[in-house]
Amino acid sequence: MRSALRLLSLVLLTALAPSVRAQTASAGKPIRVAIVGLVHGHVSGTLNGFVTNPNPNVQLVAIEEPDTALTKKYVDRFHLESIPTYSDLETMLNKEKPDAILMYIRNSEHPKVAIAAAKHHVSSIMEKPMAISVPEALAMRKAAQQYNVHILTNYDTSYFPSNNAAIAMAQDGKLGTLHKMVFYAGHAGPLHSAPEFVAWLTDPEQNGAGALYDFGCYGADLVTFMLKGQMPISVTAVAQTDNEKNYPKVDDDATIIIRYPKFQAVLLPSWEWSFSSTRKDLELFGEEGQVKTVGHEDVSVQLKGDKTATQSAAPAVNPNRDSSLDYLVAVLRNQVDDHWLPGSLDTNMVAVQIMDAARESVKTGKTVELKPLP
């Protein structure tokens, strides 16, 4: 057990220490951001953060949402009367000229909004997944390259100390040759959420699917991050609807198997678990040991030769990667190498391919082979 603890501490101190570049970067002016859309439930946490725990590196300059009644609801709730509000994206972009937008819209709207912002030379970060089809992802990548902007994706799992600790051990070879990853992601279903959120989450055209897309994309993102963009050989998936009354149009439980050479990732997204709190737990198995995350903060490690596993708290994540806003600021200020981080465009191009293939596998009942995008 002591060997596991010593090894974990050494790996994490090395892998998670802030880079010199981040430490020496100048503070600069705050990044001016606008919130686009209020129909995604995660917007509440972001707005609350602006009010109760403002980030000194970020300034909220506008809110854009076509539904003016919904805008009033959030303005009143969080006392944001001093923030300009708009019901039209182009008008807001032309008048406020933000550095970046934070998107809380339907998944199906991500490409349209990200591309519109790019044309104004405005970067964007959106709630996962980046896109719900490969053609949409390709269009977004083209816009990012053409207008020299960042198009980022926010997964809260990117900032869990436990996930970063487990993956650091794997990337440093401390578990030996990896053979399997298992990722559990889900809860008892979204029906407790705001009605404007549930309405599109349970629509396959707007969400991409049901639980398959809502929670499957977390694991697709993390395995791509861990393997630094390695393309899978194939994806096999099954999905079903256990609760047809609540989810008549979409799946509520799924299993995705992502095959690599001598390695598999198994993703278990669900809306049919017995507890309302969200579970997002990672397990990695290698020839020399295994590591399991325990909630957001802890990891359980058992190396070859250890009789039992040892649980301990994972160190804090690098400060420029411990929240979506800090990550956005670090990318826009060139304080972080964003090539294969969980929120990067490169990582999410592969993650979108995995999820598109998973949906196709469910539809056809066949394994879908993957090839790198041009």
Domain-embedded: residue 119: yes
- Asked which of 156, 175, 210 is the last residue of a domain, the reply is 156
- DSSP-assigned states of every residue in 60-127: EEEEE-S-HHHHHHHHHHHT-TTS-EES-HHHHHHHH--SEEEE-S-GGGHHHHHHHHHHTT-EEEEE
Domain-embedded: residue 294: yes
**What pLDDT, on a 0 to 100 scale, did the predictor assign at position 27?**
57
Task: Give the C-alpha distances (Å, rounded to integers) separating 173 from 7, 18, 258, 290.
Answer: 11, 21, 21, 11
Determine the Cα–Cα distance for residues 190 and 274; give it in Å rounded to an integer: 13
> How many structural domains does the chain have?
2
Q: Which residues of the chain have pLDDT under 70?
A: 1-27
**What pLDDT, on a 0 to 100 scale, did the predictor assign at position 2?**
43
Which residues, 6 or more positions from 90, have their beta carbon under 8 angstroms from its beta carbon? Answer: 116
- Asked which of 126, 156, 186 is the last residue of a domain, the reply is 156
- Asked which of 136, 156, 176 is the last residue of a domain, the reply is 156
Residues 92, 189 share a domain: no
Domain-embedded: residue 40: yes
**3-state secondary structure at position 185:** strand
**Phi, psi values for residue 122, rounded to 5°:** -115, 130
End-to-end CA distance of the chain: give it in Å, rounded.
46
Residues 168, 137 share a domain: no
Residues 227, 86 share a domain: no
Tokens of 354: 């995995």
Residues 225, 276 share a domain: yes
Determine the Cα–Cα distance for residues 254 and 20; give it in Å rounded to an integer: 42
Residues 144, 230 share a domain: no
**What pLDDT, on a 0 to 100 scale, did the predictor assign at position 15?**
40
Residues 87, 185 share a domain: no
Determine the Cα–Cα distance for residues 221 and 346; give it in Å rounded to an integer: 10
Residues 267, 223 share a domain: yes
- According to DSSP, residue 324 is labeled H
Residue 302: give its domain's CATH number.
Answer: 3.30.360.10
Residues 233, 359 share a domain: yes
Tokens of 337: 């190498």
Determine the Cα–Cα distance for residues 63 and 195; give it in Å rounded to an integer: 20
pLDDT digits (tens, 9 = 90+) for 86-140: 999 999 999 999 999 999 999 999 999 999 999 999 999 999 999 999 999 999 9
Residues 251, 175 share a domain: yes
Residue 94: give its domain's CATH number.
Answer: 3.40.50.720
**What pLDDT, on a 0 to 100 scale, did the predictor assign at position 374?**
86
**What pLDDT, on a 0 to 100 scale, did the predictor assign at position 56?**
95
**What pLDDT, on a 0 to 100 scale, did the predictor assign at position 276?**
82
pLDDT digits (tens, 9 = 90+) for 173-228: 999 999 999 999 999 999 999 999 999 999 999 999 999 999 999 999 999 999 99
Residues in a beta bridge with 286: 178, 289
Residues 180, 47 share a domain: no
Residues 147, 162 share a domain: no
Domain-embedded: residue 334: no
Domain-embedded: residue 146: yes
52: containing domain = 19-156
Domain-embedded: residue 213: yes
Task: Give the C-alpha distances (Å, rounded to integers) separating 278 from 26, 80, 103, 274.
Answer: 37, 29, 22, 11
Q: Long-range contacts made by residues 118-121, C-beta under 8 angstroms, separation at least 24?
A: 118/143, 118/144, 118/146, 118/147, 118/149, 118/151, 119/143, 119/147, 120/93, 120/94, 121/147, 121/148, 121/149
**What pLDDT, on a 0 to 100 scale, did the predictor assign at position 9?**
45
pTM: predicted TM-score of the whole model, two decimal places: 0.92
Domain-embedded: residue 330: no
* 123 and 116 Cβ atoms separated by less than 8 Å: no
> b vs e for 161-173, b when ≥16 Cβ sit within 10 Å of the residue's Cβ?
bbbbbbbbbbbee
Domain-embedded: residue 216: yes
Residues 148, 188 share a domain: no
